[in-house]
Amino acid sequence: MIRYEEQEKAFYLDNGRITYCFGIVKGQYLESRYFGRKIRRCRGSARPWYFDRGFCSNPDPEDKIFSLDTLPQEYPCMNQGDFRQPAFVLQTPDGRRVSRLVYRDYTILPGKPPLAGLPAVYAEQPGEAETLAVRLEDRVSGAQVRLYYTIFRDYDAICRHVEVENPGNESLWLERLMAMSLDLPRRDYDLVTLSGSHLQEKMPHRRPVSSDTVLLESSRGASSPQQTPCVILTDPNTDEASGQVWAVNFIYSGDFQATVQAGQYGGVRVQMGMNPLTFGWELAPGQRFVSPECVLVYSAEGLNGMSGVFHRLYRQRLCRGLWRDRLRPVLLNSWEAFLFSIDEEKCLALAKQAAELGIELFVLDDGWFRNRIDDRRALGDWTEDPDKFPHGLARLADQVRAAGVAFGIWFEPEMVSYDSDLYRSHPDWIIRSPACDPILSRYQLVLDLSRPEVCDYLVESVARVLRRTGASYVKWDMNRHITDLGSAWLPAGRQRELSHRYMLGLYRVLDQLTGQFPEVLFEGCSSGGGRFDAGMLYYMPQTWASDNTDAVCRMQIQYGTSLLFPPVTMGSHVSAVPNHQTGRTTPLSTRFAVAMAGNLGYEMDIRTLSEEDRAELRQQIARYKALRQTLQQGSFYRLLDPCRGNDAAWNFVSQDGSQVIVCQYRVSADPLRRTTAVPLQGLDPEAVYRRQSDGALFGGDELMYAGLSDHPVRQDFTSLVTVLDRVEA
């Protein structure tokens, strides 16, 4: 899949469907040449026309036409005459930041080597992937920079990351390090980003690329609900079903920066990597820095084509462990039912009723540990509260299981409250500056995970509870962002490493815990989808998508989230009405129809349900179980965008193509009771499908090209779920 063409001085990564090509110019510079649909050769038909331009610097004094400022570059550095965004800024002991990165050599490796201590896409068999490592050298500092590129046989994606090594005798300092940089040739792209907020995560925003630089970033200590480390460029006419897409996503859960910069003479530069605002790294002699990796996806089949690649890659080669391929349980979470006011009796009653309804897992959320009567206290002390659980959590867990449901439990391990034994005994374990009081958020402080003993404490505290209770599910929460970046552990010269070291510490903790408890299903959470990113999915194969469980808002959140992440990774619950966050009352059927398009759960006091609602829940859960394989492991296609209109729709197709599930939603009732016919995607046009509800037969071609109508109901917030089974013609 990877070859070097000596005549063209070009590297080709090609899996028969996509081609990525870059070359060596003047024996030393790496020129971006092509990324897109497979082509046989890239001989330069689209290369920009070079000539002597004003203000262009010329690294070759004999060649006034050649300038790095106009060359599409593969990995540009600073102070070398390319005044666009550099991917690499290194400070030398003399305080200068001048580099001369030049090409040295390359190696081609079978498979995909792991990234030490970091989440990454993996290959299970060597033949699945091939990796190219290109070595550059900084002539000024001697630093060795290796650019890694992996191409996959079965996924139209390229993974890129960078490693920098200091072979010298003096320290060097990384000031800016992008995991990837790519110069695309044209200007007429649309840019799609996923920004948002707590309760409104991953809202798609689309606009044309203009002459300015767009900067996306988080310096919050988490990938954040505000921005997603993701850049999507499309042709202007690309839609869900057709058109070209180039997308980049960072497999990282901490601070990041991504830029999209239009070049003055054309072309667009896309970069993604560490956020220079909170990143700096001392490379001591002999040390190596490994950047997290980016996934680059190309699709010629619109945004759904792009999502299809991300979904399959992340489901099959990013998520790991026993739960990667297992069907996920229907759960009931105690949070919205009880908040902090939980106890043994309530939990048991809830679990028993859950079992009767067909729910498979009871999750004990926040409030179970000693002194945790509200959010002002007790984080860090992971011992059960004897007042709420006089017979102990182990007994509760046993009783829950005896009632017929599995037992799961909530933690927020990265945090500590002032009012906790942990803080009282280790005040130096928090992130802060000694010069001032740390800023609080939800009354809590952040533990310094750059400190190995803090990580060890977390592993042991969580493991102890898991061993005692035999819990088979963990909800791993994180409810504040990081301020006061300072560590009592790190020396002054390494304080700027804290943000990344925090993530490395967290990844180590998660690696150890998931290794020790392979049977446990971990679900990530950060006040909802505040850290719903590809990095977390490597350790925890699902994430609570949002604290906003309102069905109308959730349509939008899940729609946006699905651009990158498959439905099986999205925790989505049916909750009580009026909704806790919006006060809106939506029908139970619609709450279910939205929640079933992810990992179904319930988050309400089911003890108070009417008999009618209880019967409906029982039916919903049975229906979900019957459809779960298609919903969790099938392909997902967005059809109608709820952010743009009154209707939303998506459909699922089972792995073997035998079942199609169509979900259609309407927000406000239409007085004229018009129907919306939505063309389905991913079906076999030649096949015939039978609608389960009435046995009607439709051709795949008709369903895809004419569409499927919803039903005209005189009500707001309606939904229709249609199941179609493929029949033998």
**Which residues of this chain interact with ligand DGJ, rule CB under 6 A?**
335, 365-366, 410, 477, 479, 525, 527-528, 544, 547
Report how far residue 442's alpha carbon sits from residue 537's, in angstroms, rounded to the nearest whole number. Answer: 25
Q: Kindly tell me which of 407 and 544 has the beta carbon lying closer to ligand DGJ.
A: 544
Helix (H, G, I), strand (E, B) or coil at 304: helix
Q: Kindly tell me which of 20 and 335 has the beta carbon lying closer to ligand DGJ.
A: 335
CB of 711 to ligand DGJ, least distance (A): 33
Please state at what angle helix 588-595 crosses helix 611-633, rounded to 10 degrees.
Answer: 20
The answer to whether residues 558 and 570 touch, using CB atoms and an 8 Å cutoff, is yes
Report how far residue 401's alpha carbon sits from residue 362's, in angstroms, rounded to the nearest whole number. Answer: 9
User: Could you please report the per-residue DSSP string of 409-472?
Assistant: EEE-TTEEESBSHHHHH-GGGB---TTSPPPPBTTEEEB-TTSHHHHHHHHHHHHHHHHHH--S
CB of 530 to ligand DGJ, least distance (A): 8
Report how far residue 570's alpha carbon sits from residue 311's, in angstroms, rounded to the nearest whole number. Answer: 12
Residue 448: which of 432, 469, 424, 468 has the closest Cα? 432
CB of 477 to ligand DGJ, least distance (A): 5
The structure tokens listed for 56 are 């262009």
Residue 259: which of 271, 267, 249 has the closest Cα? 271
Q: Kindly tell me which of 218 and 581 has the beta carbon lying closer to ligand DGJ.
A: 581
The structure tokens listed for 681 are 């995607």
Query: Which among 82, 156, 547, 550 is annotated as catalytic?
Result: 547
Q: Kindly tell me which of 375 and 484 has the beta carbon lying closer to ligand DGJ.
A: 375
Residue showing the smallest CB distance to ligand DGJ in the complex? 366
CB of 160 to ligand DGJ, least distance (A): 32
CB of 626 to ligand DGJ, least distance (A): 28
CB of 380 to ligand DGJ, least distance (A): 14
Report how far residue 678's alpha carbon sits from residue 698's, in angstroms, rounded to the nearest whole number. Answer: 14
CB of 594 to ligand DGJ, least distance (A): 17
DSSP letter assigned to residue 478: -
Q: Kindly tell me which of 220 and 315 has the beta carbon lying closer to ligand DGJ.
A: 220
Q: Kindly tell me which of 479 and 635 has the beta carbon lying closer to ligand DGJ.
A: 479
CB of 404 to ligand DGJ, least distance (A): 24
Q: How far is CA 122 from CA 134, 152, 155, 318, 538, in A?
A: 19, 10, 12, 6, 10
674-684 exposure pattern, b = at least 16 Cβ within 10 A, e = fewer? eebebbbbbbb
Mark whether 456 is an active-site residue: no
Mark whether 138 is an active-site residue: no
Q: Kindly tell me which of 581 and 632 has the beta carbon lying closer to ligand DGJ.
A: 581
**Residue with token string 């099986």:** 568
CB of 457 to ligand DGJ, least distance (A): 21
Query: Which among 365, 477, 647, 710 is annotated as catalytic?
Result: 477
596-612 exposure pattern, b = at least 16 Cβ within 10 A, e = fewer? bbbbbbbbbbbeebeee
Q: Kindly tell me which of 34 and 410 has the beta carbon lying closer to ligand DGJ.
A: 410
Q: Greatest CA separation found in the chain?
A: 86
Helix (H, G, I), strand (E, B) or coil at 632: helix
The answer to whether residues 160 and 148 touch, using CB atoms and an 8 Å cutoff, is yes
Report how far residue 6's alpha carbon sits from residue 284's, in angstroms, rounded to the nearest whole number. Answer: 36
Q: Kindly tell me which of 279 and 532 has the beta carbon lying closer to ligand DGJ.
A: 532
Report how far residue 538's alpha carbon sits from residue 120's, in angstroms, rounded to the nearest whole number. Answer: 7
Q: Which active-site residues does the annotation give?
A: 477, 547
